[in-house]
Amino acid sequence: MQQRSNIRFMSRQEVLGYIMLAVILLAIIPLSLDVFRLNLIGKYLTYAFVALGLVLCWGYGGILSLGQGVFFGLGGYCMAMFLKLEASDPESTKIQSTPGIPDFMDWNQITELPWWWEPFRQLPFALSAIVLLPTLFAFIIGVAMFKRRVGGVYFAIITQAIAAIMTILIIGQQGYTGGVNGITDLRTLLGWDIRSDSAKVILYYVCSAALFICLLLSQFIRYKKLGRILVAMRDREDRVRFSGYDVANFKIFVFCLSAMFSAIGGAMFTLQVGFMSPSFVGIVPSIEMVIYCAVGGRLSLLGAVYGTLLVNWAKTIFSETFPELWLFAMGALFIAVVMAFPNGLASLFKRYIEPKLPAWYSGKTMVSKAPIIEKDSSMETAHANALGSEENIGSSKSLAKPETAVTVAPRTDEKLEGGVYVD
């Protein structure tokens, strides 16, 4: 029973980490930046949703998707469709040959709203579509791939191809999607002007709050048995399978969840930036989003947020000062993250900053743990708790499985198999 202490919902550091992030996002940033910069940060935060999803599915589940932009785009387009319909009331579109339909449809000789646009007049439908449509799409992809045990590199390349297909489709069907220009000029949400300064501030807070909800949800999943099965699966998939778990279902679940997060990010993006275009659906943005996650630390939920903010902030600064150097810096960052610190900022923090922090930070519970934990406690908690422990504790009525078989491989194997490298 003493292991119970390891599987608390959050460790003390994590609680402090969340508080810290909350202070930064909800107080320091809004107070110190003007609305323009605040809106920029808000835009970056929408990418953090994607990065968070990637932490779950790549860092914990071992599934690297290079097509997260597809889900980001789907979410964003669902939101944009609603906003566009609201912006295209007959009054403001009266110069068109068919008033009342979005301007780009009019330019493409479409004379009535396509049937599948119609439901997006309702906000509740649009909101549920934002969450459900990408999740459903991810579910279909997931079932098709994971049930057939497609994984790793193959999955990455196939998702990349899906991103390419989506881009070509959206651009090609411009009468229905706005084509390469995207859906632009979105003004109001239920009559509320989303372009005003006050709206930008409010949307920023909404976005931050949504991000926190997603963070806590991820934290919850990581803390539950599910999270530990994911880690076990990533490290020794066959062993988990041999112990009777249906590995595919867990993968499908986590992939769907990450798609859902991305879609929420996409919808928030549309609200804050005021348009959506196919340039977020393609391969390049999808890979860029992976790097946000990798910079923050692919195992760290909080790291995903910091990584996204840092890379985008650097991108803005660099491209304002030395536009020509930006790609060099970005390229170097990719290489450095992969080669020098594969666990990203989070591992640097654990290694260099955390030991220097006062004792109250690490708290008493940490004293009993070995120094390795300091290197990467998120890894460690997930690891130490994987499967067996929880079953010991009591919920073993239906899931009575031989505990030895599901024991996670020893640490030393980590470097070889997992795609995760402690330090």
Partner 1 sequence: MCIFNYESGSRDNSPVFKRRSFIKTLIAFPLGLILASSPLSWANPPTSEVNTTGLAVTDDTVTVGILHSVTGTMAISETGSVQAEKLAIDQINAMGGVLGRKIEYIQEDGASDWPTFAEKSKKLLVNDKVASVFGCWTSASRKAVLPVFEQYNGMLYYPTFYEGLEQSPNVIYTGQEATQQIIAGIDWVVKEKGAKTFYLLGSDYIWPRTSNKIARKHIEKLGLKVVGEEYYPLGHTQFNSVINKIKLKKPDVIYAIVVGGSNVAFYKQLKAAGIDLTKEKPLLLTISVTEDEILGIGGENIEGAYAAMKYFQSLDNPNNQAFVQAFKDKWGKDIVIGDVTQAAYLGPWLWKAAVEKAGSFDIDKIRAASPGIELTTAPEGYVRIHENHHLWSKTRVGLAQKDGQYKVVYESEELIEPNPFPVGYQ
Partner 2 sequence: MFEEYSMAELTDILFMQGFAGLILFSVLVLMALGLAIIFGQMGVINMAHGEFMILGAYTTYLTSHIFETYLPALFDGYFFVAMALAFLVCFALGVLVEWGMIRFLFKRPLDTLLATWGLSLILQQSYRTVFGAREVGVTLPEWMMGSYSMTETIEVPINGIFVMVLTLFIASGVYFLMFRSLWGKQVRAVVQNRPMAGAVGIDTGKVDRYTFGIGCGIAGIAGSAFTMIGSTGPTSGQLYIVDTFLVVVFGGAQSLIGTIASAFTISQSQSTLEFFLSGSMAKVITLLIVVGILMLRPQGLFALKIRQ
Kind of pairing, strands 188-189 and 192-193? antiparallel
Tell me whether residue 156 or residue 216 sits nearer to partner 2 (CB atom): 156
Please report, for residues 2, 200, 406, the alpha-carbon distance to residue 397 in angstroms, rounded to integers and kept in the order given: 21, 51, 17
Contact of 72 with 266, CB cutoff 8 Å: yes
Please report, for residues 66, 284, 349, 365, the alpha-carbon distance to residue 163 in angstroms, rounded to integers and kept in the order given: 8, 9, 34, 45
Interface characters, 275-304, with partner 1 (x: CB under 8 A): x-x-xx------------------------
| Phi–psi pair at 63, nearest 5 degrees | -105, 110
Residue partners of 290: CB distance under 8 A and separation at least 6: 54, 58, 64, 66, 68
Contact of 262 with 134, CB cutoff 8 Å: yes
Binding stretches for partner 2 (CB under 8 A) = 58, 64, 66, 144-145, 148-150, 152-154, 156-158, 160-162, 164-165, 168-169, 171-172, 283-284, 287, 290-291, 294, 324-328, 330-335, 337-339, 342, 416, 419, 421
- 100 binds, options partner 2, partner 1, none, Cβ within 5 to 8 A by partner type: none
Footprint (CB under 8 A) of partner 1, residues 326-355? 326-327
95 contributes a contact to partner 1 by CB under 8 A: yes
**Tokens read off for 384:** 């130490």
161 contributes a contact to partner 1 by CB under 8 A: no
Q: In angstroms, what is the minimal distance from the CB of 303 to partner 1?
A: 24
Cα(341)–Cα(344) distance, integer angstroms: 5
- 316 binds, options partner 2, partner 1, none, Cβ within 5 to 8 A by partner type: partner 1
Footprint (CB under 8 A) of partner 1, residues 5-64? 34, 36, 39-40, 43
Strands of 270-353 (E only): list them: none
Footprint (CB under 8 A) of partner 1, residues 169-198? 171-172, 174, 179-182, 184-187, 195
Cα(376)–Cα(369) distance, integer angstroms: 12
Contact of 268 with 280, CB cutoff 8 Å: no
Query: Of these, 18, 30, 99, 108, which contacts partner 1 (CB under 8 A)?
Result: 108
- 334 binds, options partner 1, partner 2, none, Cβ within 5 to 8 A by partner type: partner 2
Question: Which residue has 């990450």 as its token pair?
Answer: 258
Tell me whether residue 91 or residue 324 sits nearer to partner 2 (CB atom): 324
- 291 binds, options partner 2, partner 1, none, Cβ within 5 to 8 A by partner type: partner 2
Q: Give the H or E element holding residue 192.
A: strand 192-193
User: How many Cα atoms sit within 13 Å of 282 on the Cβ side?
Assistant: 8
Tell me whether residue 114 or residue 331 sits nearer to partner 1 (CB atom): 331
Which chain residues interact with partner 1 by CB under 8 A?
34, 36, 39-40, 43, 95, 97, 103-104, 106-109, 168, 171-172, 174, 179-182, 184-187, 195, 273-275, 277, 279-280, 316, 319-321, 323-324, 326-327
